[in-house]
Structure 1
Amino acid sequence: MPRKKSSDEHSQIALFQAPEVPNAFRKPVQVIHSKPKSSLSLLHRKLANAWLKNASDTPSDDGWWTIHTATMAADIGFDSNNRAYLIDSARALMGIIFEWDVIAPEGKRKLWKASVLFPEVEIRPDTIRYQISRPLREQVLTPEMYAMIDLNVLKRFRRASSLALYEHCLRFEKIHRTTEVEWQLLRDMLMGESADAKSYQEYKVFKDKVLKVAIAEINALSDIEIELIEKKLGRRVQTLAFNVRKEREQAPEQIDHDENVLDIGEMVKIGILQSEARQLVKKYSHQQIVSAVAYTKKRLTDKKSSKIENPAAYLRKALSNGWAIVESSAPKPGNPTANPDKKPDLLEMYQVKMIREAEEYFSELNSADQTELISEYNATDVSPTLKVKRSKPGKAVRTEFFKWLAKHTWGDPKPEDLLQYAQKLIDTTSNVIKN
């Protein structure tokens, strides 16, 4: 059984403050479920992922992608001064042949079966240029089926077989169990069709020397926990599968109650992220959530009123303001009395406040939801210089991201929001003067 992680290991990521933030990309299943014809080192696997992520993040007009050596080293956690080893490993990737999508049924595979992943590589003093295999290029850039691979998680692995098994299992984390694979095929997927792999002709040896070590490393260092399932034919193990569970799937005590589980489901349907919904059931009572959800649903179906572009943001506001159908005194948005005498900088002050709240909101989400939001932000038409790419972005990137997140989460400020904020400023100032 996989061990339980300590509370420290469950700590959430704080964007731009923690040493690492999600650095993820969509890796197509055809590549994940591939079988290299020769052995791949840990560095080979990390380099390949860094190149694939760079390609998915960076448009190319001529089929060539460029990555700076320093960026590549940071992405894979290569902190050695042995640059020659790094370059030699990059050069070796050009000659490794893969058989693709090997666990898919034969009838569902593409016509092509094997090729190199990076057919052309140019190594320069500070950069590396490379091409991606033409049959795979479309799958890499716009994958239909994929797993979200976080380079920061891959940095932690110490063995190539552990990294390969992690990617294989992560592909199935949403359904909690991998497909069954013949153990010899899994061995070759992890180790390549090499002399090293063929030396493990007996399952018992492969299990003791490779599988057990990889499972222990994944459960100790990654964001998932896996458990081996063996299926036998007679007395011999024939196929293997794995139970897969996300690290943070343990539900807090507050959502063990049926009513809280239902509340989370209702909020998720409207568009609230699941990890945020878990926080909201701790912050608001069951009745408050039921009332706000009902109020939001009624407003969404009201054809006489203007269309709500962001239902999740509307629900958040309904919760914070206590809007409810049963309360006749509940404030109705959309009919506020504008304040013509508000200070010219009130909007800017309010935006600064919301950026701070967006930072706090983001820090409360789990890493999967954080990754999803970062990917969504990077997919907007924001300037390439303002995209979140590094673990510690600059001030301009932080400001732009959290400004976007505030708008994405709560929508544009309405007049009643500014009035309410102005009143709080007045009350605060009055209290200071009195004291």
Structure 2
Amino acid sequence: MEDIPRDRLTGPLRRGAVKKHVAAIHVSGKLTLLQRKLSNVLLLNAYDTITSQSRHQIDARTLCLMIGYNSNDMDTLKASLRGLAETVAEWDMLDEEGRQEWGVSSLLSYAKLKGGVCEYAYSPALAEKLHDPKVFALINLNIQRRFTSGHALALYENCYRFVRTGSTGWWSLDIFRRLMGVADSPYYETFKHLNAKIIKPAVAEVNKTSNIVVTPEVRKMGRSVTDIRFRINENPQLAILDLDDGEGLRNSPVYARLRALGVSDRLARQWMGQHGEDFVRAKMDYVAGQGGVTNPVGYLTRALQEDYGAGDAAPVSPRNPAPATATSPRARRLARVRELSQARTPTQRDADKRLFLTRLEGAQREDFERHGWMSALNADAIVAFWEDLSPGAFDEAE
């Protein structure tokens, strides 16, 4: 998810600012697990432009794939979108000047499916709240996909944004039941039932599945439980799942070589994620073997783009890494595939790869997992895949 502004979420929140800014957005009604996942995918897809654009789009097939729907099951997708449009989000917090602000909005102001594309929008007021990382923490899709319980995912969502403060703060049981989507059930008004059926199973799944560990604490009046909070710690065993921070890639020898070469942190992780470590390593070895390279980063950039060393691209002088004047049809097709992929949103790029992987087996699958869209064994299938997504996209490349 390279384009998501992850750096806004990693800075520690000062204690004095927590009370002022961190506040729950309460969601009325009971969202299913798939609806919660759908809501998060839509938000991640729209996040970069959520306050600057009034509507957002994503491929319906991509959307289905990212949340576990059958890509042809449009009826289920319609029902879930309808549920989000009918669900109310409510907030009650202090603004920047210390004034109380209450608001209410549907989760989606509208959604429509047309021509294989899902278009949707948020109300301006809710968009502003969702874009503020001090109010709403982005949920990593790689972690989200591991959840099997809607209550567990709801608990994770409501705890994760407090990870830097170490605690959610006290919630009344009424508020907590609303956050878990069980406020309308008389059965869960009894804490014994709430604890046995909701809290304990949700805590167990969050601690087993996600990158945080939560510990519930309760406050009583007499013998009755009135409030609950959750202590939050990072889960060292599963922290690597939070791929947005790049820690897993930063531990790679390939990453170390790229950084030593002068490649920026962001670009190094982008190349490794896009091309695969083996492909990047091979191109670094190729550049290192040329001798007399005065601009190694520039030359490596061209080597990755044009697949130097594959036998069909015409490498330019290592002293002057300008575009090659003559490239093969295959190199032009690869360059076009790269352009098409980079034009997609992070969510769509992830879905594209997963969708293509479902068509592969054996050596072809292994080669794609290693080299991504630059996989030589799958070159024809890759072109066919992108031609299907974007008819006519390779006319000029041919």
Structure 2 length-normalised TM: 0.56
For structure 1, the 5+ residue unaligned runs are: 1-20, 252-272, 284-308, 314-340, 356-382, 399-435
RMSD of aligned C-alpha atoms? Answer: 4.6
The structure having more radius of gyration, on CA atoms, is 1
Change (3 A) 1:164 1:24: farther
Whether contact under 8 Å (2:109, 2:123) holds in the other structure is yes
Question: Residue 175 of structure 1: SS of its match in structure 2?
Answer: coil
Which one of the candidate residues 69, 84, 88 is aligned to 1:93? 84
Residues 320-359 of structure 1: per-residue CA shift (max 9 Å, x gap): xxxxxxxxxxxxxxxxxxxxx963587369847x99xxxx
| Equivalent residues in 2 for 1:26-175, closer than 5 Å | 33-58=24-49, 63-79=54-70, 81-101=72-92, 111-141=101-131, 143-175=133-165
Structure 2 counterpart of 1:211, one-letter code = I
Whether contact under 8 Å (1:67, 1:127) holds in the other structure is yes
Q: Are residues 1:185 and 2:175 paired?
A: yes
User: 1:242: Cα distance to partner?
Assistant: 1.1
Whether contact under 8 Å (1:50, 1:72) holds in the other structure is yes
Which one of the candidate residues 196, 219, 224 is aligned to 1:231? 219
**Inter-partner Cα distance in structure 2 for 1:192 and 1:238:** 16
Question: Residue 46 of structure 1: SS of its match in structure 2?
Answer: helix
Whether contact under 8 Å (2:50, 2:131) holds in the other structure is no
Question: Residue 188 of structure 2: SS of its match in structure 1?
Answer: coil
**Inter-partner Cα distance in structure 2 for 1:396 and 1:80:** 22
Change (3 A) 1:178 1:234: same
**Inter-partner Cα distance in structure 2 for 1:37 and 1:77:** 24
Bigger relative contact order, structure 1 or 2, given CA contacts below 8 A and separation 6+? 1
Whether contact under 8 Å (2:167, 2:231) holds in the other structure is yes
| Equivalent residues in 2 for 1:3-402, closer than 5 Å | 33-58=24-49, 63-79=54-70, 81-101=72-92, 111-141=101-131, 143-191=133-181, 193-194=183-184, 196=185, 198-248=186-236, 343=292, 347=296, 351=300, 385=343, 388-389=346-347, 390-391=349-350
User: 1:132: Cα distance to partner?
Assistant: 0.4
**Inter-partner Cα distance in structure 2 for 1:134 and 1:179:** 28
Question: Residue 200 of structure 2: SS of its match in structure 1?
Answer: helix
Percent identical: 27
Whether contact under 8 Å (2:4, 2:48) holds in the other structure is no
Change (3 A) 1:24 1:243: farther
Corresponding residue pairs, total: 274
Residues 221-277 of structure 1: per-residue CA shift (max 9 Å, x gap): 1111111111222211111111111111899xxxxxxxxxxxxxxxxxxxxx99999
Whether contact under 8 Å (1:23, 1:150) holds in the other structure is no
Question: Residue 215 of structure 2: SS of its match in structure 1?
Answer: strand
**Inter-partner Cα distance in structure 1 for 2:144 and 2:102:** 29
Change (3 A) 1:384 1:238: same
